[in-house]
Chain A
Amino acid sequence: MTSRVVAAAVCGLMLLSGCAAPSTPESGAITATSCGMSLTFAERPKRVVTLDQTSTETLLALGLADRMAGTSNLKTKVAPQFAADYRRVTVLSPKLLTAEQLRAANPDFVVASFAEQFTRDRVGSREELHELGVPTFVSAVDCPSGDASPFDRLHQDYRTLGQIFGVEERAEKLISDQQEALSKASSRNIAGEPKVLWLYSVFNDVPYVAGGTGIPQAMSDLLGVRNVFADVDEHWPEVSWEQVAAREPDVIVVGDLSERGAPGDSADEKIAQMRRHPVMAQLPAVRNNRIIRVSGIELDPSVRSTHALAQVARALADISHDL
């Protein structure tokens, strides 16, 4: 009964804010909308399969380990707070799940952060799965519509999933925790408006940096700092060291992907490359080691992003006063 009431309340809120809302009609079937497709559940999903690490961690954060039939596609280690729950769930594949593996796992719901998981060469299209009676969920973050910030979109995911699984209270708790982390970070005393470079990875000596559409941009806005590549209309554009140097960042945030294990993935290696580069080495940010290390995966939108945000906010509060 209480869950119905909360659901109705949440539903009302969502309708007010113009978002597609899950609902529980009289028949008892649960309906929801995810990235342009309507989902219908005869009953609460009990055998959900996740297709990427961020969706896995979202469901674990909502305490849904016992409803999960399997996970796949782990990029790095799961966050320590989820490790115990993660071990309770079957790992269907450490890498990308195939269409056959997904069907063999007999899921009643499939959740992904990225729409690209639902292609024919991966698990099959969303339409194919819906025809088989298996609803699919794609994170609002990867759903191009409106101009809500990535954090708001994540919160929308938690609400929708909370409704589908009937764990609305946990969803609201998670959202309020996240909101609290956001306000705490934004209240840090950062002097001036420092120029920040968000460096995700370096591949073949080509830096991949945060552009104006990803979550680092949302973090920059929240903290009141300037992302030096805000003008590039992509998540992770590929730029050159010369372009980076020309934009004279005051501070560099470096994503550490050492658990991914490819050469050049660790923050140390990326920093060493900058120190070796004749132009980059002259930048004050490099010379004075104004470099902040965060976990690379936390620079992708997920329940863990607030962790990186807090680290960056704390470090910037220190550094900015020395600029």
Chain B
Amino acid sequence: MISSRQADVRTGRASVLPAAAAVALLASVATSLVIGTGGIGYGDLVSVIGVRLGLPVEPLAPLTDSLIWQLRIPRVLLAATVGAALAVCGAVLQALTRNALADPYLLGVSSGASTGAVLVVVTGIGSTVGVTAGALAGALSAFGLLLLLLRGSGLDSLRVVLTGVVVGQLFTALTSLLLMASGDADTTRSVTYWLLGSLASARWDGVILCAIATASALLVARYYASSLDALGFGADTAASVGVDVRRTRLVLLVVTSTLTAVAVSAVGAIGFVGLIVPHGVRFLAGPLHRTLLPYSAVAGAVFLVWADALARVLLAPQEVPVGVFTALAGVPLFLLILRRRGEL
């Protein structure tokens, strides 16, 4: 009896969830677009977009237009894509490492990104674009080192996690060394701000790069969805149902690390999204990766869009770095999820 009722709930959910997810995402983006400085309304949004579409609408003043088109829209869209990216990376890495606490920063990639960014800031060669490029280069170097250290291994979960921690520590130490060597309080401050994670520097270029990276990674991860389900039962069981375990692990490590690198270089390290969102989605949509991955992407997008909207207005006119805010919101949510699942 119980099981058939559960089955009904599941089928019910299965038909309602896609619509609910789409509505939640669209509503969140639409609401977030008008939250913040400057009293932006939907009429203004229509004008700004209408002008770009060549419609006969009255254009806004250049600065208001810039506020909406150059800042607000890319920022909300970047929040959505980065949120989706982090949640998908988290879901994939949790399955890949069979570790419920895995998140996109587990493998030392974000430490590498920090080192790259700090190097650019300290040597003073960079504009903001330089910092982003430096972060990407740093993240990819950290990942290259990780793969080098894992060369010849079967990429088994524990070894990947431990090696990732070691690589992360190495790059954290390098970052400290660079900061010490530069010894400039202003540099330290600006880097710290960046490290906390912030969407303040969002522009269209970052949105496009992140959107392409996120969409591609989601497709690849979705291709491996059944493999991820099987990997939950260990490498041997997965291999015996036809999963090429080594190739799956390698491809997904490369994809998640690259995506994390792109996300971190765009917005700094925003914590907790990759950790808590997949857990919450498992609770709502079940643990099969075929559904877990796309819903994690949507839930991550919604979560970060709201976190950033609140970060913009909570202490207005000051902005809370969104990384601080996701941690503040994430800790109680994580405890709640663990409780509901009876693990705490």
Contacts and interface: CB of A to CB of B under 8 A. Distances in A.
Question: Do any CB atoms of chain A lie under 8 A from CB atoms of chain B in the complex?
Answer: yes
Interface of A: 92-96, 98-101, 103-104, 106-107, 116, 119-122, 124-125, 128, 132-134, 201, 203, 208, 234-239
B324 to A, nearest CB: 14
Residue of A96, A99, A237, A239 with highest tally of chain B CB at under 10 A: A99
Interface centre among A100, A107, A208, A238 (most CB of B within 10 A): A100
A93 B201 contact: no
A238 B185 contact: yes
A101 B317 contact: yes
Interface residues of B, number: 31
Contacts of B162: none
Contacts of B343: none
A121 to B, nearest CB: 4
Interface stretch (B60-68, B251-259, B325-333): B60-68
A98 B36 CA distance: 11
Contacts of A100: 36-38, 67, 71-72, 312
B183 interface: yes
Q: Which 5 A-B pairs have the closest CB atoms?
A: A104-B38, A121-B201, A120-B201, A238-B183, A93-B317
Nearest to A234: B184
Contact of A103 (B64, B184, B186, B198): B64
B185 A98 contact: no
A182 to B, nearest CB: 26
The secondary structure that dominates the A interface is loop
B68 to A, nearest CB: 9
B201 A103 contact: no
Which of A92, A124, A203, A208 neighbours the largest number of chain B CB atoms within 10 Å of its CB? A124
B98 interface: no
A214 to B, nearest CB: 11
Contacts of B71: 99-100, 103, 124
Contact of A94 (B66, B186, B190, B317): B317
Contacts of A92: 317
A104 B65 CA distance: 10
11 contacts: A92-B317, A93-B318, A94-B318, A121-B128, A121-B193, A122-B200, A124-B70, A128-B66, A132-B62, A203-B185, A238-B184
Interface string B288-320: 000000000000000000000000100001110
Given A100-B71, A125-B127, A106 B61 contact: yes
B28 to A, nearest CB: 19
A98 B67 contact: no
A114 B48 CA distance: 32
A95 B62 contact: no
A208 B186 CA distance: 11
A208 B185 CA distance: 8
Contacts of A124: 70-71
A262 to B, nearest CB: 12
B118 to A, nearest CB: 15
B2 to A, nearest CB: 52
Given A100-B36, A128-B70, A235-B184, 4 more contacts: A98-B200, A104-B38, A201-B185, A236-B186
